[in-house]
Copies of this chain bind each other. A is one copy, B any other.
Amino acid sequence: MPLSPDQQAEIDALRSESQPTLRATVPGMEAHLYKAHEVLDHGFIRVIDYMGDDAAICQAARVSYGKGTKSVQNDEGLIRYLMRHWHSTPFEMCEIKLHVKLPVFVARQWIRHRTANVNEYSARYSILDREFYIPAPEHINAQSTVNNQGRGGLLEGEEAARVLEILKADSSRAYDHYQEMISDEGQDGLARELARMNLPANVYTQWYWKVDLHNLFHFLRLRADAHAQYEIRVYADAICKVVADWVPAAYGAFEDYRLGGATLSGKALDCLRRMLKGETVTQENSGMSKGEWREFEGVLNAPV
């Protein structure tokens, strides 16, 4: 459970103080504000603030005065058009600020998305908590034998047990030693900025992360993808649910054109046109490499 009673009390207090505003307001997001959505064993995401809504995307696209008079259906059509044609700037007009608690190895992937604002908990300044990510047994997988960068089948029996034992024991020992080194009881106490180097990458950190909707969609496309590491994908999935409540039309377009869509190369389109004319196209006469052909077939054969 990631929240202490004090933290829950603070969230409750924040949620009890409503103010009037003239800004664009989304009831679905108001319901999310400050609440912690749990992710992994100790992590969470919380919406701290947001700016804009579906109408703000359209408004920017039209650079019109005020909200405009178009019906919701027109707004949705416009948003789908913008998404389809990679007109990204109107989506940048919406902004979200999240509070995220996450393991350091996830944070290291996440931070590679540069077009965002971040304030992370400082282990130079403050002492990290004794919280480590220990995978659930159903998420302890073997190295994939077909993909250097992925997971294969589940580890089982003794091997799984040994892995869990190692992760738990090493985390615990590392934290004990961290505390021993920084303690100033009967000694000077090692500087925090040095002591932290003893902590493994499954230790939890936290940050405020603020990003515009266009860059958030880019993050979600890569991280909610089946090829993303499970431990970051669950964060992306949790954010997807929030975004669907925030900007339903934009999220719908994102789902259809990005998450559910595919980019085909000129060669692939050529093969497709031949196939639609009734020609039998195989990898051999496709002009594609084996890897490309396998991915192409994956796109064509995906379940409807």
Contacts and interface: CB of A to CB of B under 8 A. Distances in A.
A21 B14 contact: no
Given A20-B25, A22-B30, A80-B289, 16 more contacts: A13-B66, A21-B30, A23-B49, A51-B95, A61-B119, A89-B117, A92-B117, A124-B150, A140-B190, A143-B182, A144-B191, A155-B190, A260-B267, A262-B269, A264-B264, A275-B276
A181 B202 CA distance: 15
Contacts of A187: 159
Interface string A255-269: 111011111111111
24 contacts: A7-B65, A10-B66, A18-B20, A80-B289, A89-B118, A93-B117, A93-B210, A104-B108, A104-B201, A125-B148, A126-B148, A141-B194, A142-B189, A142-B191, A151-B191, A170-B173, A196-B201, A256-B267, A260-B265, A262-B263, A263-B264, A269-B302, A273-B300, A273-B304
Contacts of A33: 22-23
A122 B89 CA distance: 13
A3 B232 CA distance: 34
A217 interface: no
A60 interface: yes
A135 B262 contact: no
Interface string A185-201: 00111111110111111
A134 B24 CA distance: 36
Nearest to A114: B114
Contacts of A188: 142-143, 152-153, 155, 159
A207 interface: yes
Nearest to A174: B170
A163 interface: yes
Nearest to A295: B84
A19 interface: yes
B93 A97 contact: yes
A71 interface: no
The 9 A-B residue pairs with the shortest CB-CB distance, nearest first, are A260-B266, A142-B188, A92-B117, A10-B66, A197-B202, A19-B25, A60-B119, A114-B114, A151-B191
A72 interface: no
A170 B177 contact: yes
B166 A177 contact: yes
Contacts of A219: none
B125 A14 contact: no
A45 interface: no
Interface in A32-56: 33-34, 49-52, 56
Kindly name the residue among A23, A95, A105, A181 whose own CB sees the greatest number of chain B CB atoms within 10 A.
A23
